Structure 1
Amino acid sequence: MIVTPPSAEEVTGHAASMYDRDTQDDGFVFAHTQVMAINPEAHEAFESLVKAIVASIGIGVYEAATLGAARAIGSAHCLLAHGRKALRAGVLDDDGLRAFAHHDDSGFSESEQAVVRFAERLSADAASMTDADSQALRDVGFTDRQIVDITLAAAARNFFSRALLALDVPVDVVPGVSPKTAAALTARVR
């Protein structure tokens, strides 16, 4: 990694809050947090975007979009971090998360599975998407606002994941994800 993150002694404001949250929750500051602390204003704007998205689609759909995008991108950082968030929120259990790592999305509800497919397609080849892709979301009950927010959730994950990959940010062990599940999530990714 060519960039040098700020030390815990250097950070102030939002960056200090980022470091404090990681330290309080996990006892250390994740490498991805340290890199994002280089531009805390951008990180804060990203968090605001996520809050605006989750308000209409809820945490389960948000995590389905996020995990679908992260799997398509091949982002170990985001698969692990959002795998843990899905576990903590009760969106998936450990077996469901491990199955997801092997492209078995049955741990998600039918509508969440449609979201995973949509997010993967957006992340792999957004230019080829058509109204049929959005219609698949409408067919499982999503509103126009929710379709837009699912799209934003997947696109936001592309922004964050691709930045971490481009900066070659080291992948940390994520407490709360079993070693077996972590290995499954990261088996095919960089």
Structure 2
Amino acid sequence: MSILQTTSEAEAVGATAAAYAADRAALGYVPSHTKVLAMNPEAFDAWKTLQSAIAGSMGMRRYELVTLAAALGLGSRHCRLAHGNKALKFFDEQELLGIARDYRNAGLNEEEIAMMDFAIKLSADSAAMDESDSRRLRDLGFSDREIVDITLAAAARNYLSRTLQALAVDVDMPPKLSEEMRGALLDPLDIRETAAD
């Protein structure tokens, strides 16, 4: 649990109130991460602008796949749940359940699997990456711009996820996410942590 004293919804004004209102409209509630990030509304706005620029360039399906993979590589419950919830706009629930449980055997194409592998490696051990990682994407037909966008999406997820983890921000359970989906999104993280012990 975070030690930070966030602004309550009733007391929020200005940019903080606007951030809260945007999440209430989009999600039906204000997540804990918004309450923490809104403590620096200028940085939060810059984050949202960056996120939008990356996602708009690469398309939402690819963006959500890379985001889910990066969150898996980081062991981020926050981002696996939040983006699992968001990804339901671009995948049906059965498809997303398969991706959450084992993306390599979920019917994704080779290009999608490769970019998820790339995002996980970037998130788990970026120091071990070399030109062969980018070359795999190039060999599968990704343009230089697309390789940069995949990298930016994964790296940006590292920024946000590590911020939330470092500040011990509460993990929100999106209310519309089914129990089965919650389990599928969180189980791989438990497996990852057990393997690291």
TM-score normalized with structure 1 length: 0.91
> 2:103, 2:113 within 8 Å by CA — same for their partners in 1?
no
SS in 2 for 1:160: helix
Name the residue aligned to 1:119.
Answer: 119
2:48 alignment partner AA:
E
Instruction: Give the distance between the partners of 1:13 and 1:140, measured in 2 at CA.
Output: 47
Q: What is the deviation of 1:55?
A: 2.8
RMSD between superposed Cα atoms in Å: 1.7
Q: Pick which of 28-37 and 1-10 moved more.
A: 1-10
Q: Pick which of 103-112 and 31-40 moved more.
A: 103-112
CA shift in 2, pair 1:25/1:143, >3 Å: same
Name the residue aligned to 1:178.
Answer: 178
Q: What is the deviation of 1:135?
A: 1.1
Instruction: Give the distance between the partners of 1:78 and 1:7, measured in 2 at CA.
Output: 22
Cα deviation per residue 1:105-153 (whole Å; 9 max; x = unaligned)?
Answer: 3243332211110000000110111111011111222111111111111
1:51 alignment partner AA:
S
1:149 alignment partner AA:
D
Structure 1 stretches of at least 4 aligned residues deviating more than 4 Å after TM superposition = none
CA shift in 2, pair 1:138/1:25, >3 Å: same
Instruction: Give the distance between the partners of 2:134 and 2:31, measured in 1 at CA.
Output: 35
Residue 154, structure 1, aligned to residue 139, structure 2: no
Number of matched pairs: 188
Name the residue aligned to 2:92.
Answer: 93
TM-score normalized with structure 2 length: 0.88
Instruction: Give the distance between the partners of 1:86 and 1:140, measured in 2 at CA.
Output: 24
Residue 76, structure 1, aligned to residue 82, structure 2: no
5+ residue gaps, structure 1, are none
Q: What is the deviation of 1:22?
A: 2.1
Name the residue aligned to 2:62.
Answer: 61
Over the matched positions of the two proteins, sequence identity in percent amounts to 47
Name the residue aligned to 1:164.
Answer: 164
1:25 alignment partner AA:
A
5+ residue gaps, structure 2, are none
Instruction: Give the distance between the partners of 2:141 and 2:18, measured in 1 at CA.
Output: 38
